[in-house]
Amino acid sequence: MGRKTAVTFDPYAVPSPSYICDEKKLRENLNLLRTVQEKAGCKIILALKGFAMWSVFPVVREYLYGVAVSSVNEAKLGREEFGREVHYYAPAIKDDEIETVIQLSDHIVLNSHSQFERYRDKIKSSNKKVKVGLRINPECSVVTTEIYNPCTRYSRLGITIAELNKIDLKEITGLHFHALCENSANELEVALRAVEKKFGHLIKEMEWINFGGGHHITREGYDTDKLISLILGFKEKYGVDVILEPGEAIALNAGFLVASVLDIIRNEIDIAILDTSASAHMPDVLEMPYRPEIVNAGEPAIYPHTYRLAGGTCLAGDIIGDYSFKKRLNIGDRLVFTDMLHYSMVKNNTFNGVELPSIGIINADGSFALTRAFGYEDYRNRLS
């Protein structure tokens, strides 16, 4: 995944394992997103599901309007640490959460007719003013990895036009769709066409529409001009405000996972055991699945020394992949995995009691700051 990334820090000078955010690269992404906001006249908010490293929220909030959240915990973090707009959407909200959700949120997007009926009066009668929207399902699959396709058949995510026709929309100020994952502006165009075809007659009645996440805006080659013209065209046609809520695009290629070689063994092939784990520290490697890039390493047999890189848990399948290196690996060597900021620390776990990676920042001036280290208490406190 991602372009070749140069490392601007000494991997031996940071803890291992650790996730390292590169502030300069983060700001490059945010600058591009700011340009989109300015040229398209839209709002971009950060989806905390993909990236919730709150020690850099002061940086992110210089550029973005707020956060998209999907749980009370995310909403609290957004309110406390980001401090701008909080847009709430979840597949279902619990009765004992709704009051907190109302107090924490500026927008609440409900996922179904019954959730809307269940909470409309509570939201309406609250002294906290909240904009209420509905998530629609455009039933248009542009995502080919099924686990990430919100429009797959029988999807629970969003209201189909057949169901929406049964709802009185007079208290609804906006619509939300999320149909993309790592997609280009071309795929957004396809999704927008489906949204317009099915829901166009209702959009004119709305104040705002949220195009969801999955816009890979900061990827090399992404056509931002096309994105901007799609948003401008949509705003002009329907007279609505447009919101985007990407997660991945904010942190794309803006950070690393540093790990160490603990042992090198042989079982027909050379295997290096690391102090990190696919299963615990980069679960998308197994879930998506995908092959992360490593600085100064390549596909097997490109360079003279090929190793299978394996995690430190007892799970047989805790394997990151096969990589080749110019020099033989040694115990204690540091490896730098690129593009490890999004969907990594938000999904990691203490499976097998492996330690969680520390979290740090390479500041814009090149200095390193360790923002978090984890210990036994973090493992213990999740159990009883």
Ligand X SMILES: *Cc1c(COP(=O)(O)O)cnc(C)c1O
Query: Residues in the site for ligand X, rule: CB under 6 A?
Result: 47, 49-50, 68, 89, 178, 181, 212-214, 245-249
Which residue type sits at 279? S
Query: Residue 323 CB, nearest distance to ligand X (Å)?
Result: 26
Q: Please give the sequence-ordered ranges of beta strands (E in DSSP) within 144-183, or none if there are none.
A: 174-176
Q: Which of 213, 311 has the CB closer to ligand X?
A: 213
Query: Residue 327 CB, nearest distance to ligand X (Å)?
Result: 36
Q: Which of 213, 312 has the CB closer to ligand X?
A: 213
> What's the Cα-to-Cα distance from 77 to each of 21, 52, 104, 251, 369, rounded to whole Å?
19, 8, 10, 18, 21
**Residue 278: its H or E element:** helix 278-281
Q: Which residue's Cβ has the minimum distance to ligand X?
A: 213
Query: Residue 97 CB, nearest distance to ligand X (Å)?
Result: 17
Q: Which of 11, 66 has the CB closer to ligand X?
A: 66
Distance between CA atoms of residues 359 and 373, nearest Å:
7
Q: Which of 49, 107 has the CB closer to ligand X?
A: 49
Query: Residue 189 CB, nearest distance to ligand X (Å)?
Result: 17
Q: Which of 48, 274 has the CB closer to ligand X?
A: 48
126: helix, strand or coil: coil
Query: Residue 310 CB, nearest distance to ligand X (Å)?
Result: 28
Distance between CA atoms of residues 312 and 300, nearest Å:
21
